[in-house]
Amino acid sequence: MEKKVFIKTFGCQMNEYDSEKINDVLAKKNKLIETKEQKDADLIVLNTCSIREKAEVKVYSDLGRIRKLKEANPNLRVAVGGCVASQEGANIIKKAPYVDVVFGPQTLHRLPDLLKAREKNGKPQIDISFPEIEKFDRLPMSKHTGPSAMISIMEGCSKYCSFCVVPYTRGEEVSRPLNDILTEIIATGVSEITLLGQNVNAYRGLMDNGEVADFATLIEYVSEIKEIKRIRFSTSHPNEMNDALIDCFSNIDKLAKMIHLPIQAGSDVVLSAMKRNYTTLEYKSIIRKLRKRCPDISITSDFIVGFPTETLNDFNSTKLLMRELEFDYSYSFIYSPRPGTPASYLKDLTTHEEKLERLHELQMSNVAQGEIFTQNMLGTTQRVLIDSKSKKKSGVFIGKTDNNRVVEIEGDESLLNQFVSVKINQILNKNIQGTILN
């Protein structure tokens, strides 16, 4: 009988991408078929996240449940990958001895060998090393069914913000060679591609002529691929925004007019303690340039509240700045001390209740601003990629705009997987409707 694998993904888009790759490698080397039912699985893979404590706690409570499954079926195999695996390593086996394999974000291509070694010597296997770019050279090409795909262009982060665990769990920045990326994009056959990395704009990839391409150059090359009609990317860092990249938003029509540019805080004192290496003034000047080159660009951001040194004054500056910059929907998080990070040794000034209050305030603002942005789309023309059929309304199709709004359009099956120009003519709460322009 065919053996099955169940993969559960926690956290960011990078993990979603990695899970696709885990699936590909297990299908090719171990002939495992993916199942959506954990109880049918012969192998359970948890692709974990450790960016905040909550994400980590979820992994251990899942493992608790899996333990019962394993007691009932000793042939079940359990593998833990991703950032918790990278951070905890052998500790996972100590806490959950029924786990068979622990692998990191950079060693997922070794999973088949680790599973084999587990069968051979009957002991749990651990490999959380960072063998640089080896991962990408060893992975099979993936197949895509829908019109969109994600592709990882670089791994890791070398910025070492004082609160963040990513440089320790994913390693330092490493970029894939330009041609490898282009070849993989062409092979997917999709019309929309999302370029992924912890800091995509820190991309410095080798070209065949020995020169190094920066992120703007990569975007230019990707835009030359005929089949690709829209390019997205995530995430970028303010310190890696150069003029060439800003110009892409006005010069390259295929580039979606949106950018996620985390600022984290609106107080220079806090930004400095976070080691973000920019001031609010520098950040504002980037936003000004972006809007000058591309007036209707949607800009989203990340905010952390309750950073250990954050005073009420600091928080008020963050609130003000958020309104002033008129972001589209943004994300706010409560600061979570991460093991081994410099910020985790700082004295925390706020109570959990204060943090919750600050979070609530910012999130109300996030939502309100996103809604203003939506309302302003009324009457505009948007580029929409139709990717599905409405389940509730017949003859209605659904697609996404550049700034990720879901739009409903009347039409027929021929629209599926197509890009269309849509005039937005009705917005009721979250429901956006439009008609196709010729």
Site residues (CB under 6 A) for ligand SAH? 51-52, 157, 163-164, 198-199, 235, 237, 262, 264, 302, 304, 333, 335-336, 338
Smallest gap from residue 196 Cβ to ligand F3S (A): 13
Smallest gap from residue 308 Cβ to ligand SAH (A): 11
Minimum CB distance to ligand SAH smaller for 249 or for 333: 333
Residues in the chain: 438
Minimum CB distance to ligand SAH smaller for 155 or for 408: 155
For residue 82, is it left (φ>0), alpha (ψ between -120 and 50) or beta? left
Q: Considering the rule CB under 6 A, would residue 167 count as an interface residue with ligand F3S? A: yes
Show the binding pattern over residues 105-144: x = contacts ligand F3S (CB under 6 A), - = does not.
----------------------------------------
Smallest gap from residue 164 Cβ to ligand F3S (A): 3
Minimum CB distance to ligand F3S smaller for 191 or for 330: 330
Minimum CB distance to ligand F3S smaller for 230 or for 237: 237
Residues 6+ apart with CB under 8 A from 343: 162, 163, 273, 274, 307, 308, 335, 337
167 binds, among ligand F3S, ligand SAH, none (CB under 5 to 8 A by kind): ligand F3S
Minimum CB distance to ligand SAH smaller for 156 or for 434: 156
Range 222-281, binding ligand F3S (CB under 6 A)? 237
Minimum CB distance to ligand SAH smaller for 107 or for 336: 336
Range 62-81, binding ligand F3S (CB under 6 A)? none
Per-residue tokens: 314: 């600091």
Tell me if the bond preceding 235 is cis, omega within 30° of 0.
yes
Which residue's CB comes closest to ligand SAH? 302
Asked whether 297 and 290 are in contact (CB, 8 A), the reply is yes
Q: Considering the rule CB under 6 A, would residue 176 count as an interface residue with ligand F3S? A: no
Strands (DSSP E) found in 205-297? 205-206, 212-213, 230-234, 258-260
Asked whether 427 and 237 are in contact (CB, 8 A), the reply is no
Per-residue tokens: 289: 């340039």
Asked whether 108 and 81 are in contact (CB, 8 A), the reply is yes
Residues 6+ apart with CB under 8 A from 2: 31, 33
Choices 75-83, 108-116, 162-170, 350-358; region in contact with ligand F3S by CB under 6 A: 162-170
Q: Considering the rule CB under 6 A, would residue 159 count as an interface residue with ligand F3S? A: yes
How far is 100 from 298, CA to CA, in rounded Å?
Answer: 45
Placement of tokens 């997922």 in the chain: 108
With CB under 6 A as the contact rule, the residue among 164, 248, 407, 415 that binds ligand F3S is 164
Show the binding pattern over residues 139-158: x = contacts ligand F3S (CB under 6 A), - = does not.
------------------x-
Smallest gap from residue 157 Cβ to ligand SAH (A): 6
160 binds, among ligand SAH, ligand F3S, none (CB under 5 to 8 A by kind): ligand F3S
User: Could you tell me which of 154, 167, 140 has the C-alpha nearest to residue 20?
Assistant: 140
Count the site residues for ligand F3S by CB under 6 A: 10
Smallest gap from residue 98 Cβ to ligand F3S (A): 32
Smallest gap from residue 379 Cβ to ligand SAH (A): 33
Smallest gap from residue 359 Cβ to ligand SAH (A): 10
105 binds, among ligand F3S, ligand SAH, none (CB under 5 to 8 A by kind): none
Minimum CB distance to ligand SAH smaller for 306 or for 399: 306
Smallest gap from residue 57 Cβ to ligand F3S (A): 20
Per-residue burial over 140-167, b = 16 or more CB atoms within 10 Å of its CB, e = otherwise: eebeeeebbbbbbbbbbbebebbbbbbb
Show the binding pattern over residues 286-325: x = contacts ligand F3S (CB under 6 A), - = does not.
----------------------------------------
Asked whether 175 and 203 are in contact (CB, 8 A), the reply is yes
User: Could you tell me which of 156, 249, 237, 144 has the C-alpha nearest to residue 192?
Assistant: 144
User: DSSP readout, 84-95?
Assistant: HHHHHTHHHHHH
User: DSSP readout, 302-317?
Assistant: EEEE--TT--HHHHHH
Angle value at C-alpha 296, between 291 and 300, nearest 5 degrees: 75
Per-residue burial over 45-68, b = 16 or more CB atoms within 10 Å of its CB, e = otherwise: bbbbbbbbeebbebbeebbeebee
User: DSSP readout, 336-360?
Assistant: ---TT-GGGGSPP-S-HHHHHHHHH
Binding site residues, ligand F3S, CB under 6 A: 157, 159-161, 164, 166-167, 198-199, 237
